Amino acid sequence: MEFLESILVTPFIEIWESPYYFIELVLVGLSTGVLYSLVALGFVLIFKASGMFNFAQGAMVLFAALTLVGLMEHGLPLWAALILSVATMVGLAFLVERFMLRHLVNQEGLILFMATIGLNFILEGTGQLMWGSDVKRLEIGIPDQPFDILGGKVLLNTFDVTAAFIGALLVITLAVFFQKTPMGRALRAVADDHQAALSVGIPLKTIWIAVWTIAGIVALVAGIVWGAKSGVQFSLSLIALKALPVLILGGFTSVPGAIVGGLIIGVGEKVAEGFWGPALGGAIENWFAYMLALAFLVFRPQGLFGEKIIERV
C-alpha cells in the first residue's frame, strides 16, 4: 500500500509542489531527446530507402566521431577535420554500395540486416585500429556554462541548448531536402516502390549512395554532439541501443516520428528519474525507455507515426 502510494500519488504531489524542478527536467529531457532523435534519424533514413535495418548506425556514429577527433589530434583545425570527416563518410557510402548493397539486391530484409552486423564490426574495428581505443576529449568550442531562466528558478546549460539547436537545424534541413528537392523526391519514390522507381529511370545505385551519405553525415553530427558531451569512446556505439525505443515509439518509417519519439523518450526518462526514481530505488533512467517502448508495442505496434500495418490475409 505504501509502495503503491509512493509511485501513484507522491510523485504527482511533488510535481505540483515543485513545478520549476519539473520544468527543468522537461527542458533537460528535451535537449537529451534531440540527441536520441539524431541517432534514430540515421536508422529511419536507411530503413525508408531500402527497407534495411542498419545495425551499424551506432558504429557509424563512433567511427565518424573517432575520425574527427583523430584528425584534430594530428593538428588539423576543426574546419579541415570536419571536411575530411564528411569526405570519409561519403567514401564509406560508396564502399558500402560497391561491396555490400550491390551484391545483395533483392535479398530478404534479414540477410541485409546480418550484413549490417558485419559492417558494424568492421567499422568498430577499423575505427579503433586507426585512432586507438582511449577515451578522447572532443573540444569543438561549444560553451558549457549553466545559466538561469524564469528568474533563477530553472537551471539550464548552454551546451544542451546549443546541441538542441544543432539537432533542430539538421532535422529542418532534412525535411526541406526530402520534400522540396528532386533528389528528395527520388528518395521518397524509391522508398515507395522499387520497381516503379526503376521504370522511371531512377538509378538505385545513386540513391543508395546518397542515402548512406546522408545517414553518415547525420551520424557525424550525432557523434560530434555526443562526443563533445561525454567524450569519444567505444560506448558511443551503444547509444544506438537507446535509439531502438525511439524507433519503436516513432515508427521505423517516419522522420517526424523519430524526432517526436526521441523527445518523448528524453523527457520521459528525465522526469521519471526525478520523481519516480526515489521510490523505485533510482537509476530507472536506464530502463525506462525500454518499458515505454514495450507499452507502445502492445497498443500501437506501428509506432506513433508509422504507416499503418495492413496485411492481406
**Binding residue for another protein (CB under 8 A) from 95, 142, 183, 297?**
183
Q: 83 near 144, Cβ under 8 Å?
A: no
Closest distance between another protein and the C-beta of residue 185, in Å? 6
Q: Which residue of 206, 230, 235, 286 would you call a contact of another protein, by CB under 8 A?
A: 206
Residue 210 contacts another protein per CB under 8 A: yes
Q: Long-range CB contacts (< 8 A, 24+ apart) of 178-182?
A: 178/255
Among 12, 177, 241, 294, which residue sits at the site for another protein (rule: CB under 8 A)?
177
Contact with another protein (CB under 8 A): which of 161, 202, 244, 297?
202
Partner residues linked to 103 by β-bridges: none
Minimal CA–CA distance to 213: which of 172, 183, 253? 183
Segment contacting another protein (CB under 8 A): 3-11, 66-74, 192-200, 243-251? Answer: 192-200
Binding status of residue 201 toward another protein by CB under 8 A: yes
The least distance separating another protein from the CB of residue 18, rounded to whole angstroms, comes to 45
CA of 208: how far to CAs of 56, 215, 252, 255, 295, in Å? Answer: 15, 10, 18, 18, 34
Strand residue runs (E) in the chain: 146-149, 154-157
- Which is closer to another protein, CB of 8 or CB of 83? 83
Q: Which of 197, 220, 240, 249 binds another protein (CB under 8 A)?
A: 197
| Rounded Cα distance, 267 and 277, in Å | 14
Nearer to another protein, 184 or 278 (CB): 184
Which residues, 6+ apart, have CB-to-CB distance to 70 below 8 Å? 130, 131, 132, 136
Nearest approach, Cβ of residue 196 and another protein (Å): 4
107 binds another protein per the rule CB under 8 A: no
Asked whether position 150 contacts another protein by CB under 8 A, the answer is no
Give percent helix, percent strand, percent coil of the chain, each to the nearest 5. Answer: 75, 5, 20
Placement of cell 510523485 in the chain: 11
Nearest distance in Å: CB 210, another protein: 7
Whole-number Cα distances in Å, 89 to 92, 94, 97 = 5, 9, 12
Choice between 109 and 203, CB closer to another protein = 203
Using the rule CB under 8 A, is 260 a contact of another protein? no
| Positions that interact with another protein (CB under 8 A) | 177, 181-186, 188-189, 192-193, 195-204, 206-207, 210, 307
